[in-house]
Amino acid sequence: MTSLDSSTVIIGAGFAGLFTALHLTNQHYPHPITLIDRTDRFCFKPLLYDYMSGEMASYQVHPLYAELLHGRHISFIKDTVTQVDLAACRLHISQGMTLAYDSLVLATGSIPAFFAEGAADHAFTFQDKADADVLKQHLQERLAEAAHVSSVDERQALLTVAIVGGGPVGVELALTLGDLLPQWYEAVDGSPEDIRIVLINRRDILTGDVNSRLRDTTMKAIENRTVQPELILGASVTAVRPNSVEFSCSDKRYHLSAGTIVWTAGTTTHPLIESLPIPAHERAKRGQLLVKPTLQLLSYPDVFAAGDCAVIQSDVPNWQPLPATAQVAYQQGGTIADALMAKVQHRETLLTTNVSFRGTMMKLGMGTSVANVFDRYEIVGPVGQTIRQVMYLGLTPTPSHNARTAADWIKEDVFRLYSSEYHAIDYRADLTSL
């Protein structure tokens, strides 16, 4: 077994982990930084729909870490961490290497939570590039097969897509497929009106989510799709079979034949986080790690956690955890970087997490999105789509100067549409209409 010493190790190179590393190098952090992830590419998860639909290229949505980290003093290891020894300040990775750390950042994210029989085996997920590629290929195969089937019932089953989960992922995927599948089916001489997209959820869509304010806009978008997604609300999925979904609604049991089933119904704690020797009273209800406002673990001040795997401890009644969004992770990365710089500079007081929300964004179909700016303005349509895309692409040091320039333009001009009142603006013309 080999051994490699490193001052600061970051596990997970999603939004929280990557931006912690980038913030550190921007502040000229003097100690070695090691970033570990199981893949060699970053994934802009909010833009997976654009990648699958062909509206954005792979290099935009899935840039290589080698490109993002070029010129920065960050060692990147593509591997999986199998164990973390908090007492010894060491961790083990699958290729047989051990790493010692002075400071550790846990940014593993979460994994899909399957609560119905057979869901893990028979449903697709939509978490990364691999998921998007597999789902796209499967859908196109189903459409091609349906175009040559004579049985009406068999063709209808092949053309039915069931999406379990009415949060942002399920809703954005349903809206995108409502425009995309008709195009694919027409290409194989099929009739788009035969396609059926069904969204199944326990409650109303977007309930309890940071995007809940966008529900009315989302409902209008559902009505305007080429294929209008059907909503089955108040339903509990009990089982997923190879080509069907079983669910109960209003004390009745139902069976839906579907050639494609996608599971977007929530997440659970990453196995590595579950394996840590952290007692239950230092964890949140769903197993995430409780952290101080400085994002330090309660009993391990040299270990930080951010993103989906952490919840800030609070004594405030009815306090709600921060939403698991890109802008939160980005700012949490800044908080951790500042804390690590404070150690170097021997500052006793650390900054606490102070997340500033610029609003929320959702994809509403091909070529259209809604950008809810500062919870004051909803910009809907192609301009909303442009705002959403370039805001995400402008976060990281991508080689695309145009994307970053556009992001700066939006920050300077569009985000100045700040008002004490709430407005919905529907821009359906080109960018020049602004």
Cβ density class 406-415: b for 16+ within 10 Å, e for less? bbeebeeebb
413's CB contacts (< 8 A; 6+ apart) are: 434
Rounded to an integer, what distance in angstroms lies between the CA atom of residue 16 and that of residue 105?
9
What is the Cβ-side half-sphere exposure of residue 228, based on CA atoms within 13 angstroms? Answer: 9
Which amino acid, 379?
I
Asked, colleague to colleague, whether 2-38+79-111+268-344 and 119-265 share their fold, the answer is yes
pLDDT at 3: 45
Rounded to an integer, what distance in angstroms lies between the CA atom of residue 192 and that of residue 146?
11
pLDDT at 123: 98
Q: What angle do CA 306, 312, 315 make, to 5 degrees?
A: 180
The answer to which of 98-107, 134-143, 160-169, 414-423 has the lowest mean pLDDT is 414-423
Say whether 153 sits in a helix, a strand or coil: helix
Query: Would the pLDDT of 139 be above 70?
Result: yes
> In which residue are the tokens 């209800």 written?
285
Helix (H) or strand (E) holding 154: helix 152-158
For 396-413, the DSSP string reads: S--S-HHHHHHHHHHHHT
* Predicted confidence band of residue 392 (pLDDT cuts 50, 70, 90): confident
Domains in the chain: boundaries: 2-38+79-111+268-344, 119-265, 359-433
- Decide if 300 contacts 306 (C-beta within 8 A): no
Query: Would the pLDDT of 76 be above 80?
Result: yes
Dump pLDDT digits (tens) for 147-195.
Answer: 999 999 999 999 999 999 999 999 999 999 999 999 999 999 999 999 9
Enter the CATH code of domain 2-38+79-111+268-344: 3.50.50.60
71's CB contacts (< 8 A; 6+ apart) are: none
Q: Specify the pairing of strand 103-106 against strand 303-305.
A: parallel
3-state secondary structure 306-369: CHHHEEECCCCCCCCCCCCCHHHHHHHHHHHHHHHHHHHCCCCCCCCCCCCCCEEEEEEECCEE
> In which residue are the tokens 């969204």 written?
199
Say whether 157 sits in a helix, a strand or coil: helix
- Structure pTM? 0.88
% of the chain at pLDDT higher than 70:
86
Rounded to an integer, what distance in angstroms lies between the CA atom of residue 429 and that of residue 434?
9
pLDDT at 296: 95
pLDDT at 356: 66
The answer to which of 9-13, 117-121, 198-202, 386-390 has the lowest mean pLDDT is 386-390
Residue 87, token pair as written in the block: 């007492």
Q: Which of 146, 134, 126 is nearest to 186 (CA)?
A: 146
Sheet containing 368-373, strands listed edge to edge, beginning at the edge strand earlier in sequence: 359-365, 368-373, 377-381, 423-426
Q: Which fold has domain 119-265?
A: FAD/NAD(P)-binding domain (3.50.50)
Dump pLDDT digits (tens) for 394-425.
Answer: 776 655 534 554 555 455 444 444 333 434 44
Q: Which of 275, 294, 171, 289 is nearest to 225 (CA)?
A: 171
Which amino acid, 358?
R
